[in-house]
Structure 1
Amino acid sequence: MSDSHAQSVAFVRDTVIPESPPPALETGVVKWMRSNLFSGWFNTLLTLAAIWFVFMVLSVVVPWFANGVWEASDIRQCREIMAGSGGGCFAVIADRWQQLLFGFKYPSEEYWRPTLAFVLLFIAIAPLLFSKMFPRWMLVLTALYPFVAYYLIWGGTILAPLVALLGFVAGYFAYARVVRRSFAGAAAAGVVVAVVVWTLGGYVSAAAPGFMAFEPVASREMGGFMLNLILGVVCVSLSLPLGILLALGRQSNLPVVKGICVVFIEFIRGVPLITLLFVANVVLAYFLPPGTNFDLIVRVIIMITMFASAYIAEVIRGGLAALPKGQYEGAESLGLDYAQSMRLIILPQALKISIPGIVNVAVGLFKDTTLVSIISMFDLVGMIRGPILASTDWNGVYWELLGLAALLFFVVCYGISQYSQWLERQLQTDHR
Structure 2
Amino acid sequence: MSGSNISFVRNAILEPQPAPASQRGAVAWIRRNLLATPKDVVLTVIAVAALAWVLPQMINWLFIQAVWTGTDRTFCATTVQGGTQPDGWSGACWAFVNAKLDQFVYGRYTLNERWRPTLVFIMFAALLTPMLIPSMPRKGLNALLLFVALPLVSIWLLYGGFGLEIVETPLWGGLLVTLVVSFVGIAVSLPFGIALALGRRSKMPVVKMVCVIFIEVVRGIPLITVLFMASVMLPLFLPQGWNVDKLIRAIIGVSIFASAYMAEVIRGGLQAIPKGQYEGADSLGLGYWQKTRLIILPQAIKLVIPGIVNTFIGMFKDTSLVSIISMFDLLGIVRLNFSDGNWASAVTPLTGLIFAGFVFWIFCFGMSRYSVFMERHLDTGHKR
For 2:161, give the aligned amino acid.
G
For 1:29, give the aligned amino acid.
A
Name the counterpart of 1:69: 67
Q: Distance in 1 between matches of 2:89 and 2:281?
A: 70
Q: Distance in 2 between matches of 1:222 and 1:287?
A: 26
For 1:359, give the aligned amino acid.
V
Aligned residues of 1:280 and 1:299 also touching (Cα < 8 A): yes
Name the counterpart of 2:137: 134
**1:198-237 aligned within 5 A:** 213-237=163-187
Cα offset, 1:402, TM superposition: 0.6
When residues 324 and 16 of structure 1 are mapped into structure 2, their CA distance, relative to the original with a 3 A threshold, is: closer
Q: Distance in 1 between matches of 2:64 and 2:317?
A: 30
**1:226-375 aligned within 5 A:** 226-375=176-325
Moved more, 419-428 or 14-23: 14-23
Q: Distance in 2 between matches of 1:425 and 1:94?
A: 39
Name the counterpart of 1:29: 26
Deviations 1:87-131 (A, max 9, x none): 21111111111111111x211111111111111112222343334
Cα offset, 1:20, TM superposition: 10
Cα offset, 1:374, TM superposition: 2.3
- Are 1:89 and 2:93 an aligned pair? yes
Name the counterpart of 1:113: 116
Unpaired segments ≥5 residues, structure 2: 78-82
- Are 1:149 and 2:154 an aligned pair? yes
Aligned residues of 1:63 and 1:86 also touching (Cα < 8 A): no
Q: Distance in 1 between matches of 2:74 and 2:44?
A: 42
Name the counterpart of 1:173: none
For 1:48, give the aligned amino acid.
V
Aligned residues of 1:274 and 1:371 also touching (Cα < 8 A): yes
Name the counterpart of 1:393: 342
When residues 257 and 26 of structure 1 are mapped into structure 2, their CA distance, relative to the original with a 3 A threshold, is: closer
When residues 349 and 391 of structure 1 are mapped into structure 2, their CA distance, relative to the original with a 3 A threshold, is: same
Aligned residues of 2:246 and 2:325 also touching (Cα < 8 A): no
When residues 16 and 215 of structure 1 are mapped into structure 2, their CA distance, relative to the original with a 3 A threshold, is: closer
**1:139-178 aligned within 5 A:** 139-142=143-146, 143-157=148-162
Deviations 1:259-316 (A, max 9, x none): 1111100100001100011111212222222221211111111111111000100111
For 1:356, give the aligned amino acid.
P
Q: Distance in 2 between matches of 1:19 and 1:224?
A: 57
Name the counterpart of 1:431: 383
Task: Tell me the number of residue pairs that the alignment of Structure 1 and Structure 2 aligns.
Answer: 369
Aligned residues of 2:158 and 2:167 also touching (Cα < 8 A): yes
When residues 240 and 21 of structure 1 are mapped into structure 2, their CA distance, relative to the original with a 3 A threshold, is: closer
For 2:355, give the aligned amino acid.
L
Could you tell me the TM-score, scaled by structure 2's length? 0.89
Q: Distance in 2 between matches of 1:337 and 1:25?
A: 58
Cα offset, 1:18, TM superposition: 10
For 1:50, give the aligned amino acid.
A
Q: Distance in 2 between matches of 1:290 and 1:20?
A: 81
Unpaired segments ≥5 residues, structure 1: 7-11, 158-212
Q: 2:106 aligns with which of 98, 102, 105?
A: 102
Name the counterpart of 2:370: 419
When residues 392 and 304 of structure 1 are mapped into structure 2, their CA distance, relative to the original with a 3 A threshold, is: same
Moved more, 369-378 or 124-133: 124-133
Cα offset, 1:22, TM superposition: 8.3
Moved more, 41-50 or 17-26: 17-26
Q: Distance in 2 between matches of 1:28 and 1:18?
A: 21
Aligned residues of 2:67 and 2:75 also touching (Cα < 8 A): no
Cα offset, 1:29, TM superposition: 2.5
Question: Which structure is richer in relative contact order (CA contacts within 8 A, separation 6 or more)?
Answer: 2
Moved more, 43-52 or 82-91: 82-91
Aligned residues of 1:242 and 1:309 also touching (Cα < 8 A): yes
Name the counterpart of 2:52: 55
Cα offset, 1:72, TM superposition: 2.1
2:119 aligned counterpart, secondary structure: helix
Cα offset, 1:62, TM superposition: 1.4
Aligned residues of 1:69 and 1:81 also touching (Cα < 8 A): no
Root mean square deviation of aligned Cα: 2.6
For 1:28, give the aligned amino acid.
G
